[in-house]
Structure 1
Amino acid sequence: MNTVPLIDGPRLPVVPRLREVAANTPAAYFGIVLGLAGLGGAWRAAALAWRLPGLIGEAVYILAGAVWAVLVLLYAVKAVLAPDKLAAEVAHPVQCCFIGLAGVATMLVAGGLAPHAAGAGTVLFSLGLLFTLGFAVWRTGGLWQGGRDPSATTAVLYLPSVAGSFVSATGAAALGHPEWGQLAFGAGLFSWLAMESVLLHRLLTGPETPVALRPTLGIQLAPAPVAAVAYLSVGGGAPDLPAHALIGYALLQVLVLARLSPWIAKAGAVPGLWAFSFGATALATASILLVAHGDAGALIVLAPALFVAANSLIVGLAVMTLALLLSGRMFAAPTAASPART
């Protein structure tokens, strides 16, 4: 008589709780994987350039893979147990673009896995690439139809096609297919240049960005340094003018965002601040790769500082995220009074 309660009793609150957590997991949380994997790549580059311990980079990649696996599981549960929440996210003019990060994060995790298990890394990269390409084509087609509120034009528009293409280029080159990577690099480069003017026009002439959306400006930093990493990957890595130009533009973005930091900080401690992580780690990675390939110019001075800054940023974001988890705010249902987690 007691076996049924012993087996079934504890299970009853688990499914509702899992559904609640999954339903309140936005696709934007995949940005955490981008930051962690980006830091893993920076440490791999640092091991190459400065003979720093390679195990640190591999440990960070393992952490990125663990976070990715949890988020994939939660998002799968969300699709099954809370399809209404998923449908609302897909229909949202800002949040929908973050869905593309699921494929980008998958490709980055594949990049961490590839040196240790090339076959598994190739399979995982292929799955991420197919999802990224499919979502980018679908989302871009929707954008071309028009009918958008200009206030929804934010840096998240870079995510489906720009971020996806540059990461695809880097991953393809790492797996031994630089010629395919060059095609992806071209897709990302010209998509970025086309969208950049649209986004700057919105920032310069539109209404002030709402407080809850200001952390998304961190994405503005990412295209140039992520493009630099992709360019070095598909082009052999030699220091040249285009590589330096991309890093120079990224440094300008850093200075502008630093000037805006008090204005952005009004959003408070929110997971959306991970938007700064991928650009910051990519900037460090690109600079260190150039040093590793014999760059003897300004980057000899800048690369160590950028590496320290990237590590400090990720540690700070990790501490903030743990605090949000422990306080129960990471997966709490958003209210009208709470800031948007995107």
Structure 2
Amino acid sequence: MQTTAATQKQRSIGSVQFLPVNLFASVMGISGLSLAWQQASKLFGTSPVIGDIIGIIAVLMFIALSIGYISKWVLYPQKVVGEFTHPILGNFFGTITISILLLSSVLGTYSQVLGQTLWIIGTATTLVLSFVFVSRLLNGNQEPANAVPAWIIPVVATLDVGVAGGTMPFPWAHEVNLLCLAIGGIVALVYFVIIVSRLIHHVPMPAGLTPSMLILIAPFEVGFLSYTNFMQQIDQFASILFYFGLFLFVVLFFKVFKKSVPFGASWWGVSFPMAALSNAALEYALLVHSWLLIAIAAVILTLLSIVLIVLFIRTLNILFNGKLLRG
């Protein structure tokens, strides 16, 4: 009876073999929202408890997804290998390392040792992953249609190293942050040109990949956060990064948020670029104290919060109705 009940439950909810790696983008988005609300408590005087609660949700989601994906790796290793070697889906493994880096910032406020440990793990895995994926692309024979915004994810991960580790006390952290800023900044620029060229000159991406277009703003906003964290100031170069990312967000917003785009796990691809934009706007407003920047920061934070609440509810809905984990 118990076996029958378990089988029926698996059939109703689905199988872990269909757990998509890109769902880790949800941890990135919610971690980014937690950090944004922590910044908002300094700018707007909101309760820091809001950021703490969201941070707990991000940690629980990461644990749940890690257990699920490790189970998939153990039970269906060929599925994981298939995702990792896929020219598009493989790039979403970068969402795991970025999640670890962002959680190092979320948890670092409670335990320095835990935050530093996660940062070291996240930095090491990020550098390895970036090496693997850049090397893979340089093997040649890449299909132009595969040049999609998801390519940027492993590269953005190197920029997140500086965002999370700008104040790390290790004597070697300064050079590691500089190394990652260099890798992320230059490679992201090259990828950006290639991807935009593909979007202009080739057929539109499949509808399921449309939400990932917002990833194009990530190098500029994460780059802004990493650069300002490293330099400890906002100069004109940082301002250019922020404002171009903001402009690109406005352009892409109307191309992504359309009723014709079906909902799925890929929609979480909008969460972390928006979270990066929100954190960048809040940091800019905190340092510059411009009423316009404060208004922009408030609007983006509100929009980010609404979008993530909707994504969270809709994801739970497709999980329990069996659509999320069904092949």
TM (norm. structure 2) is 0.92
- Farther-moved stretch of structure 1 (215-224 vs 96-105): 215-224
The one-letter amino acid of 1:233's match is: N
Q: Aligned to 2:197, which of 201, 204, 209?
A: 201
Quick one: structure 1 residues 91 and 239, their matched pair in 2 at CA, closer, same or farther if it must change by over 3 Å?
closer
Distance in 2 (CA, whole Å) between partners of 1:179 and 1:298 is: 35
Distance in 2 (CA, whole Å) between partners of 1:302 and 1:12 is: 51
- Deviation by residue 1:86-124 (Cα, 9 ceiling, x = unmatched): 121122111011012111111111211111111112112
CA contact (8 A) 1:100 1:159 kept: yes
Partner of 2:63: 69
Task: Report 1:217-296 matches (<5 A).
Answer: 217-236=213-232, 238-261=233-256, 265-296=259-290
- Farther-moved stretch of structure 1 (133-142 vs 289-298): 289-298
Deviation at 1:20, TM superposition (A): 5.8
Larger radius of gyration: 1
Partner of 1:142: 136
User: Residue 326 of structure 2: SS of its match in structure 1?
Assistant: coil
Deviation at 1:175, TM superposition (A): 2.8
Q: RMSD across aligned C-alpha pairs, in angstroms?
A: 2.2
Partner of 2:292: 298
Partner of 2:159: 166
Task: Report 1:94-133 matches (<5 A).
Answer: 94-133=88-127
Distance in 1 (CA, whole Å) between partners of 2:167 and 2:109 is: 9
The one-letter amino acid of 2:223's match is: A
Deviation at 1:319, TM superposition (A): 1.8
Deviation at 1:297, TM superposition (A): 5.9
Structure 1, unaligned runs of 5 or more: 334-342
| Residue 175, structure 1, aligned to residue 171, structure 2 | no
- Farther-moved stretch of structure 1 (174-183 vs 279-288): 174-183
Structure 2, unaligned runs of 5 or more: none
Q: Aligned to 1:216, which of 200, 204, 212?
A: 212
CA contact (8 A) 1:171 1:181 kept: no
Quick one: structure 1 residues 205 and 80, their matched pair in 2 at CA, closer, same or farther if it must change by over 3 Å?
same
CA contact (8 A) 2:123 2:161 kept: yes
- Farther-moved stretch of structure 1 (143-152 vs 320-329): 320-329
CA contact (8 A) 1:214 1:267 kept: yes
Deviation at 1:12, TM superposition (A): 8.8
The one-letter amino acid of 1:129's match is: T
Distance in 2 (CA, whole Å) between partners of 1:190 and 1:315 is: 34
Distance in 2 (CA, whole Å) between partners of 1:181 and 1:11 is: 53
Distance in 1 (CA, whole Å) between partners of 2:174 and 2:31 is: 21
Distance in 2 (CA, whole Å) between partners of 1:291 and 1:240 is: 14
| Residue 312, structure 1, aligned to residue 277, structure 2 | no
CA contact (8 A) 1:35 1:278 kept: yes
Quick one: structure 1 residues 313 and 323, their matched pair in 2 at CA, closer, same or farther if it must change by over 3 Å?
same
Deviation at 1:141, TM superposition (A): 0.4
CA contact (8 A) 1:111 1:174 kept: no
| Residue 321, structure 1, aligned to residue 315, structure 2 | yes
The one-letter amino acid of 1:289's match is: E
The one-letter amino acid of 2:100's match is: T
Deviation at 1:235, TM superposition (A): 1.6
CA contact (8 A) 2:23 2:265 kept: yes
CA contact (8 A) 2:208 2:264 kept: no
- Deviation by residue 1:10-50 (Cα, 9 ceiling, x = unmatched): 59947x94996321111101100010001011011111222
The one-letter amino acid of 1:67's match is: M
